[in-house]
Structure 1
Amino acid sequence: MVRVQEIPLTDIRRPLIRQTDPAKVESLMKSIQEIGQQEPIDILEVEGKYYGFSGCHRYEACQKLGKETVLCRIRKAPTSVLKMHLA
């Protein structure tokens, strides 16, 4: 089951380090300021904890804008799925 909701940025764990394009982050910041976040980031919920592996630019843009939450598409998953993402 997938649900979409706002999640506090501080509740999302980002276990993999990703390089972001500063120009893309800046562009997204402008867009989010003007029209809001249009596309949720994908989050895995494993044992009540949230993990983000995609949406790095949107996450960083919201962070730099000082937003407390980010719009997320949340999918519950077992620990085995989390381990596959970390492999």
Structure 2
Amino acid sequence: MANFLLQLPNAPRSFALSASSNGSPPGVPAQSGGPVILELPLEQIRRPLMRTRANDPHKVKELMDSISEIGLQVPIDVLEVDGVYYGFSGCHRYEAHQRLGLPTIRCKVRRGTKETLRHHLR
């Protein structure tokens, strides 16, 4: 979600404009089941492929520097199944947040079924 303050030179007042990537009002999940952007605690995100993949330490360090300076620019993708969050992408960004000691990370959350989850685990 982004918030902007728009001030027009000849307008007598200013107003705030909020936007969400899914077209829903800020803080309201999409009715169509589309993705929503949420800030989730790292400890709530399960990483089922963590043991099978290795991160590039140089890339993690670069991301740590960038996140410290300007914040996370691209949310990680997370699948929510029955209230449990599963992360399959954004491994370097996730590790950078862990190493920085940040408690949460911005996520693009999509809802899925157990069948969708099984498909991701293949």
- Unpaired runs of at least 5, structure 1: none
Identity among equivalent pairs (%): 56
| Distance (Å, rounded) in 1 between the aligned partners of 2:64 and 2:38 | 20
Higher relative contact order (CA 8 A, sep 6+): 1
Q: TM-score, normalised by structure 2?
A: 0.70
SS of aligned partner of 1:20:
coil
Instruction: Give the residue type in structure 1 aligned to 2:109.
Output: I
**Which position in structure 2 is the counterpart of 1:14?**
47
**Which position in structure 1 is the counterpart of 2:70?**
35
More helix per residue: 1
Q: TM-score, normalised by structure 1?
A: 0.98
| Distance (Å, rounded) in 2 between the aligned partners of 1:82 and 1:9 | 19
Higher Cα Rg, which structure: 2
> How far is the alpha carbon of 1:5 from its aligned partner?
1.1
- Unpaired runs of at least 5, structure 2: 1-33
| Distance (Å, rounded) in 1 between the aligned partners of 2:109 and 2:35 | 6
- 1:56 aligned to 82, 91, 97, which one? 91
Q: Do residues 5 (structure 1) and 38 (structure 2) align?
A: yes
> How far is the alpha carbon of 1:65 from its aligned partner?
0.2
For the aligned residue pairs, the C-alpha RMSD in angstroms reads: 0.5
Deviations 1:48-86 (A, max 9, x none): 000001100000000000000000000000110000011
